[in-house]
Amino acid sequence: MTLEAFLADRNLLALKTNSAALGKGLFRREVTIPLHTSGLVFHSDGNLALLTEGRKVDGDFEIVLAKNGTIVLELMFPDLRSSDSFPVSATVRIAVSIDTRRIDVFKDFVASLFTFPGTLSTRDVKTFLAPELKRVLSELISASPAEQLHRKDLSRDVDGRLAPTLERLFFGQGLRYEKLVDSSFLSVDFESRQKADAQRRENEHRLSEERDDKERQLRRFLGFLEDPQVKGILETLPDDRIKGLILAELLRDKNASITAEELIRKSARHGEEVVQAILESLQKLMGATPVPSHAQVVAESAERIFVAAGSTVYEVRPGEPEPAEHRFPEALRSVRFSATLLGGSKRAVYVLSPSGQVLGYPLPGAKDPRGGVNAIASGGPYLFATHSEYGLARWRAAEPGAPGELLYSDLTLRNKTTRAVQISGDRIFFATGSEVYASSLHDGSNPVRFGSDPPSTVTCLVVCGSALFAGTEDGSIWGWDAAEPDRPSLVARKKERIVTLRLAKIGGIPHLFYSTRDLAVRARALGLNLEIAYESGGASVDFLDAASDLVCASDSSGRKLLVWKSTAPARPDIEVDIWRQAGKPILDLWMKKVPSPTS
């Protein structure tokens, strides 16, 4: 071991060597004590000398060089036990120093801790310290329960016990205890127990709250029934069976809420009209969210699922293993089905004619947009598409190849987004920025504005008869009655942006489906504060579509198409790996629906 190596190694505390190894000069061996060290020199005549840094020594001698200043030692004892028998891991960091101030004490250090040649390291000192330190910590820990130890600052207690013990231990050994730097105690088992207890308490609290909520709900509904106005509304119901059902639901046990499953069961027994009537009556009682009428939301079955990935649309038929493929001239951003298959790309809308020919409807101008057509709708003789960088475009379906005409540019150009064109009846709906507009399909008159408060960019839209719903980037779902554009009502508020909105009738009840890149597709029973979660099994979901019998969605990575039976939300019924075939992610999907036979 050279002197330089000793000085450079922070783990080495002392070095024993001799003049032959250190000395310079041909005839006279002279050594200068390095900075920040002290030397105990054993001369050949038996004399001793204590030399501080910078002093010189010559002749024949042995020398022990020790580093001055404090060193911090960290010792960990993982196998201690608290008074309540939890394993506790204790870590202490203590500052110690070699006492080189007095020759007799320095001599003690050499005699007791450094009887061997070579070097003395922090490890040697730790080995010397460990048994006594463990004894002290063991006494401390075994006297306290884990709760008083786990992640607690016990520095004062530890120091109070360590200081006298280490002082006694170090006395006559040439070491000095400076201070306790810090100490920590960790009991993994206790922490697990604590977490489990907290979880149990939280569950109990939640159950208690739920119970309280139900009781409050019951009292509220019973209060409603006593209200003369409510009594009057109930009297307006056309059928005594409906009244009976409502009363039965409200008074049944302690639970006054109507669950989706119960309603599905009742619908099977009494027919959807009855259930719908109940819901509409309840909606009037609650007086909040707009609900499309029973006639406006029809029960539909999914016949095909179209999935856009790259320049191909995959046609998935329920019950058939392999999807059919439809190729388009360029990569598609959106897909729809309206009598025929429609695809939206960066700069055009394509229509797959029944003869298999692909007809292109280009957007006007020579822009090179970054995004693509996000929604397509066909109504009357027209095709409509929304594109955030163009706005709302319209083509005559009979004139493929002709550039589209941009509508309402004064509204769309001032916003960064234009999305979700839809046609309902003879009206066209689209969203631009934070507003939704509705206009006549034919006359192009001033559009009606549907605004929300606070405004947030609309990401998706669904229209059904008199009800209109819009999802926003701030995670809100707003609902309007089409006849009252100035009265938005907040249907739901989520933390994440709403990606897709769809309406479908499940078990006779209109459900508003939405996705928020959550681990499930959520379906909210309109008019009731009830929600069904179609669990993906661990993947976050992105685009979705829903019919009365099936619900489908793509996962956020765009690799898989997940398909649930509407009555089995616990897990997807089918998973189709689109990526395996396309090598591209899913960018949109759409269901071709046909009226359900029971509708």
* Omega within 30 of 0 (cis) for the link into 454: yes
Query: Does an H or E element contain 169, and which?
Result: helix 155-170
Interacting span for other proteins (CB under 8 A) from 61-69, 166-174, 197-205, 438-446? 166-174
Structure tokens at 461: 């839209």
Q: State the minimum distance, in angstroms, from the CB of residue 17 to other proteins.
A: 23
Our CB check for other proteins shows the closer of 44 and 409 to be 44
Question: Crossing angle, helix 240-251 and helix 260-270, to 10 degrees?
Answer: 150
Tell the burial category of 134 from Cβ atoms under 10 Å away from its Cβ (0-12, 13-18, 19+): middle
Interacting residue with other proteins among 168, 205, 367, 449 (CB under 8 A): 168
Q: What is the DSSP string of 503-539?
A: EEEETTEEEEEEE-SSSEEEEEETTTTEEEEEE-SS-
Strand ranges in 310-403 using DSSP code E only, listed in sequence order: 312-316, 324-327, 332-338, 340-345, 348-352, 358-362, 373-379, 382-387, 391-396
Q: Work out whether 58 is an interface residue with other proteins (CB under 8 A).
A: no
Beta strand pairing call for 300-309 and 312-316 = antiparallel
Binding mask 520-559 for other proteins (x = CB under 8 A): ----------------------------------------
Give the bridge partners for 97, in sequence order: 70, 176
Residue 328 near residue 350 (C-beta atoms within 8 A)? yes
Interacting residue with other proteins among 25, 46, 354, 597 (CB under 8 A): 46
Our CB check for other proteins shows the closer of 54 and 172 to be 172
Interacting span for other proteins (CB under 8 A) from 135-143, 164-172, 365-373, 449-457? 164-172
Our CB check for other proteins shows the closer of 175 and 504 to be 175
Q: State the minimum distance, in angstroms, from the CB of residue 171 to other proteins.
A: 4
Number of other residues whose CB lies within 10 A of the CB of residue 65: 25
Q: Work out whether 48 is an interface residue with other proteins (CB under 8 A).
A: yes
Q: Work out whether 115 is an interface residue with other proteins (CB under 8 A).
A: no
CB contact set of 205 (below 8 Å; sequence gap of 6+): none
Our CB check for other proteins shows the closer of 165 and 296 to be 165
Interacting span for other proteins (CB under 8 A) from 103-111, 116-124, 368-376, 480-488? 103-111
Query: Does an H or E element contain 298, and which?
Result: none
Distance CA 520, CA 182 (A): 47
Our CB check for other proteins shows the closer of 101 and 416 to be 101
DSSP 3-state of 5: helix
Q: Work out whether 164 is an interface residue with other proteins (CB under 8 A).
A: yes
Residue 262 near residue 255 (C-beta atoms within 8 A)? no
Distance CA 489, CA 492 (A): 9
Our CB check for other proteins shows the closer of 46 and 319 to be 46
Our CB check for other proteins shows the closer of 96 and 332 to be 96
Interacting residue with other proteins among 4, 45, 226, 320 (CB under 8 A): 45
Q: State the minimum distance, in angstroms, from the CB of residue 162 to other proteins.
A: 13
Interacting span for other proteins (CB under 8 A) from 96-104, 323-331, 468-476, 546-554? 96-104
Interacting span for other proteins (CB under 8 A) from 168-176, 338-346, 355-363, 504-512? 168-176
Beta strand pairing call for 56-58 and 48-51 = unpaired
Number of residues that bind other proteins (CB under 8 A): 16
What is the distance, to the nearest Å, from the Cα of residue 418 to the centroid of all Cα atoms in its chain? 28
Our CB check for other proteins shows the closer of 45 and 226 to be 45
Interacting span for other proteins (CB under 8 A) from 169-177, 385-393, 548-556, 585-593? 169-177
DSSP state of 24: B
Q: Work out whether 171 is an interface residue with other proteins (CB under 8 A).
A: yes
- Degrees (nearest 5) of the Cα angle 533, 534, 539? 110
Place of tokens 């701030």: 474
Kindly identify the residues of this chain, within the stretch 235-274, that bind other proteins according to CB under 8 A. none
Beta strand pairing call for 56-58 and 87-98 = unpaired
Q: Which of 323, 356, 322 is nearest to 341 (CA)?
A: 356
Interacting span for other proteins (CB under 8 A) from 162-170, 217-225, 264-272, 453-461? 162-170
Q: Work out whether 129 is an interface residue with other proteins (CB under 8 A).
A: no
Q: State the minimum distance, in angstroms, from the CB of residue 36 to other proteins.
A: 22
Q: What distances in angstroms separate CA 13 from CA 6, 381, 408, 523, one per listed residue? A: 8, 92, 82, 70
Interacting span for other proteins (CB under 8 A) from 45-53, 307-315, 480-488, 556-564? 45-53
Q: Work out whether 47 is an interface residue with other proteins (CB under 8 A).
A: yes
Q: What distances in angstroms separate CA 178 from CA 93, 170, 175, one per listed residue? A: 11, 11, 9
Our CB check for other proteins shows the closer of 160 and 537 to be 160
Interacting residue with other proteins among 172, 381, 401, 451 (CB under 8 A): 172
Q: State the minimum distance, in angstroms, from the CB of residue 163 to other proteins.
A: 9
Q: Work out whether 60 is an interface residue with other proteins (CB under 8 A).
A: no
Q: Work out whether 104 is an interface residue with other proteins (CB under 8 A).
A: yes
Distance CA 387, CA 411 (A): 13
Our CB check for other proteins shows the closer of 108 and 300 to be 108
- Biggest alpha carbon–alpha carbon distance for the chain: 124
Q: Work out whether 156 is an interface residue with other proteins (CB under 8 A).
A: no
Interacting residue with other proteins among 74, 139, 167, 213 (CB under 8 A): 167
Tell the burial category of 436 from Cβ atoms under 10 Å away from its Cβ (0-12, 13-18, 19+): buried
List residues binding other proteins (CB under 8 A).
45-48, 102-104, 107-108, 164, 167-168, 170-172, 176
